[in-house]
Structure 1
Amino acid sequence: MDERVVLGLLIAAGIVLPGVANYALNAAGAPTVGSIVWAVGYASMVLVVWFGWIRPLDLTGPGGGTEP
């Protein structure tokens, strides 16, 4: 599967699944637990995206230029 598709599915799942769990827990009468589940799920998705796609990027500028 294309890496861009995997990234898109991961981001969608990291937002949708914790959001649905939050909604279900709020409807069941546990809003605090729902908020915790949403925050942990979203933060986990952010960490996976950071370590899997953003961190390995080489974001350095050009080297060896004629800088004053």
Structure 2
Amino acid sequence: MVSDKTAFAVVLATGVIIPGLAKYFLSAAGYPALGTIIWVTGFGTMVFVVWYLWIRPLDITGPVGSE
């Protein structure tokens, strides 16, 4: 099984590299708008996956104050 740190690094890398390369090649081929749409969709998906798998489950509530 892959450790959480490795999975996190893979998700971050693929969420930045693959959409970035797609944007570069589509822009170079004359489709800059499509490249931007692909990049925003890929990066946004990566942000959602990171939030859903690693940030959402965290219990980040502070201590209950005494009155």
Which residue of the partner structure matches residue 66 of structure 1?
66
Any unmatched runs of 5+ in structure 2?
Answer: none
Measure the CA separation in 1 of the matches of 2:57 and 2:29: 41
RMSD: 1.0
Which residue of the partner structure matches residue 29 of structure 1?
30
Any unmatched runs of 5+ in structure 1?
Answer: none
Residue 11 of structure 2: SS of its match in structure 1? helix
Greater Rg by CA: 1
Measure the CA separation in 2 of the matches of 1:23 and 1:33: 11
Pairing 1:8–2:9 present: yes
After superposition, give the CA deviation of every residue in 1:8-58 in whole Å (9 maximum; x if it has no partner). 110010000000000010011000000000000000000000011000000
Deviation >4 Å, runs of 4+: none
